[in-house]
Amino acid sequence: MSAYDDVQKAVEFLKLFAPAPPKVAVVLGSGLGAFADSLGGNKVPTCDIPGWPASTVEGHAGTLALSPKGVVALAGRVHLYEGYTADQVVFPIRVLIALGARTVILTNASGGLDPRFQAGELVLISDHLNLTGANPLRGPNDARFGVRFPDMTEAYDHELRTTAQRAAEKAGLGPLREGVYAQLGGPSYETPAEVRMVKQLGADLVGMSTALETIAAVHMGARVLAISCVSNLAAGIATHKLTHDEVLEAGKQAAPRFARLLAGVIDEL
């Protein structure tokens, strides 16, 4: 079967659990999965969904929450560093858009390249650098997903960022800073030299997800909002060694504020 057929098979399965076609899809990053529990509705283990790649990373639960309010939330994305291909990494995004979502909210944990960033700070992503060496659109194009050469001028929707700023102000969280996010392959954290490189290239944040998902979402005509939780300062800027526990703890501490922001954005939409 083609990738398109695989996506449709997963869509048909999820229609059994979706109270209505979702309008908004939310992908929850490391340590942020608790938001899915607040939505109510049906919860589906992603291991039950045909063709869905299994998340193997602590902090990514592997659950899809289908809310009766038109929101679907994924707790448990997958990454290139787990051994998956770019096509497999974006399979969940393609399924959620094909299920009906026309707005995608991506969240992640990131390393901050600006020493003024605070651990737990929420930052809106305004653009990205895909430094993974991979692209989910590589290979033959299936026009049922989108055009061969999608424009990425405004990959992160300006109107959605304005909506998020408004929601942040109402929730007492704003204004939020905005920045350019660089995705590298991982799973090793970046070296100080790599951090200096991506900073020189114009990045404000660095991490191991999101850019490939954004490319696939834009390819399928969805609007993208991405919010990053700064879990730590990046290597060479931080004064200590980096650990995944630190990332999870930062996500845990930021979770209540993240949930207020996401709820506010969804209400605005």
Active-site residue, from 10, 82, 168, 190: 82
Active-site residue, from 67, 110, 231, 232: 232
Predicted pLDDT at 158: 98
CATH of residue 153's domain is: 3.40.50.1580
Q: What is the dihedral of CA 79, 126, 21, 30, to 10 degrees?
A: 40
Global confidence as pTM = 0.95
Euclidean distance between CA atoms 172 and 96, whole angstroms: 30
> How many Å is the maximal CA-CA distance in the chain?
50
Active-site residue, from 25, 30, 86, 203: 30
Q: Which range has the worst mean pLDDT, 63-67, 116-120, 204-208?
A: 116-120
Active-site residue, from 209, 217, 222, 255: 209
Q: Pull the structure tokens for residue 222.
A: 């969805």
Active-site residue, from 208, 238, 250, 254: 208
Q: Supply the angle between the helices 86-98 and 211-219 in degrees, to the nearest 10.
A: 50
Q: Does 208 qualify as catalytic in the annotation? A: yes
Q: Which range has the worst mean pLDDT, 23-27, 41-45, 100-104?
A: 41-45
| Phi, psi (deg, nearest 5) at residue 73 | -125, 130
Predicted pLDDT at 58: 63
Q: How much is the average pLDDT of 124-148?
A: 98
Q: Does 1 qualify as catalytic in the annotation? A: no
Q: Does 4 qualify as catalytic in the annotation? A: no
Q: What is the mean pLDDT of the chain?
A: 92
Euclidean distance between CA atoms 254 and 65, whole angstroms: 21
Residue 233: strand pairing partners: 112
Q: Does 82 qualify as catalytic in the annotation? A: yes
Give the residue numbers spanning the domain of 238.
Answer: 3-268
Q: Is the pLDDT of residue 210 over 80?
A: yes
Q: What is the DSSP letter of 204?
A: S
Q: Does 240 qualify as catalytic in the annotation? A: no
Domain count across the chain: 1
